[in-house]
Amino acid sequence: MKIPKRLQPLVDDGMIDEVICQLMSGKEAQVYVVRAGGKPSCAKVFKEAKQRSFKQAVQYQEGRKVRNSRRARAMSKKTRYGQKEQESAWLNAEVEALYRLDAAGVRVPKPYGFVDGVLLMEMIADAEGYAAPRLDDVTLTEQQALEYHAKVIDDVVRMLCAGLVHGDLSEFNVLLDASGPVIIDLPQAVDAAGNNSAASMLERDVNNMRAYFGRFAPALLETRYAKEIWALFEAGRLQPDTPLSGRFEADTSSVDVDDLMEVIDDVRAEEANRRAPSWDEEDW
């Protein structure tokens, strides 16, 4: 095909050998199938900031660290430079997330590099070598739904242990190859510890997956993984291999009433002591 303008510099530099075709254009980006380093790969070209949508909302950016303080100041202003810096921070976020998650063992496309606003990554393929379908494109058996749901939950936990919440996880952002589900589309990933919306985003992500897989395996609709995972994370007890039940009960663990009464009596006695003037005080 004719080489798209945004990919030309990568072709000139020899990073891309050949542009094969364009995949469906998403809301935020265009994705091309290319050959890079001899391998079939995907090149994701981000659209201009003004063509992009909700994901750049302030809510997602909270807690992201901007290392350079001059940059941070510029980003907070509405200058051209500030907007450009904000733009590149946004584009970098997906690349950084991919490297971090790949290293943490989460099944995502392997990142190959980020040049001139173009993300090069592994192409997730089906058995014939074509771009893999999204969950939304397939019909599953109950058994497959249970198995893939478990894998996605496992990856969500790994991701959280690596400090990130996807923030836009749905049947449109999970591909399916021979190894199972592969999570894609991460520019909006949020910082799990530094973002006040992280808990609600995790809940939305996990519940989207429950609703999708629940169509094929209705038993999943009764599960409550989101709350269970977040409670463990908050308590500092979440590891990639922490066993999960899918059930969640708010902590109503029974209180030992005798113990509690003793504590109350002690406090009362202390308070009474404090109030009763000692002889010394009276003398004064």
Ligand X SMILES: Nc1ncnc2c1ncn2[C@@H]1O[C@H](COP(=O)(O)OP(=O)(O)OP(=O)(O)O)[C@@H](O)[C@H]1O
* Alpha-carbon dihedral 98, 99, 104, 108, rounded to 10 degrees: 30
131 contributes a contact to ligand X by CB under 6 A:
yes
Q: Which residue among 28, 96, 155, 205 contacts ligand X (CB under 6 A)? A: 28
Binding status of residue 121 toward ligand X by CB under 6 A: yes
Binding segment (CB under 5 A) for Mg ion, from list 158-166, 168-176, 206-214, 230-238: 168-176
Choice between 37 and 218, CB closer to ligand X? 37
The minimum distance between CB 48 and ligand X, in angstroms, equals 13
- The distance between the two most distant Cα atoms of the chain, rounded to a whole number of Å, is 101
Which of the residues 169 through 188 are near Mg ion (CB under 5 A)? Answer: 173, 185
Give CA 185 to chain center in angstroms.
9
CB 26 within 8 Å of CB 119: no
User: Residues 11-50 vs Mg ion: string with x where CB under 5 A?
Assistant: ---------------x------------------------
Q: How many chain residues bind ligand X (CB under 6 A)?
A: 22
Tell me which of 10, 16, 19, 42 binds ligand X, using CB under 6 A. Answer: 42
Q: Which residues contact 273 (CB under 8 A, 6 or more apart)?
A: none
C-alpha dist (Å) from residue 164 to 27, 101, 188? 22, 9, 10
- Given the rule CB under 6 A, which of 3-11, 20-28, 143-151, 206-214 is the region that contacts ligand X? 20-28
The dihedral formed by the CA atoms of 55, 116, 182 and 214, expressed in degrees to the nearest 10: 20
How far is CA 227 from each of CA 11, 153, 191, 200, 245, rounded to the nearest angstrom? 47, 12, 18, 10, 11
Residue 29 near which of Mg ion, ligand X, none (CB within 5-8 Å, type-dependent): ligand X
Task: Identify residue 156 by its one-letter amino acid code.
Answer: V
- Residue 27: CB minimum distance to ligand X, A: 3
Please report, as ranges, the residues that interact with ligand X according to CB under 6 A: 23-24, 26-29, 31, 42, 44, 109, 121-124, 131-132, 134, 172-173, 175, 184-185
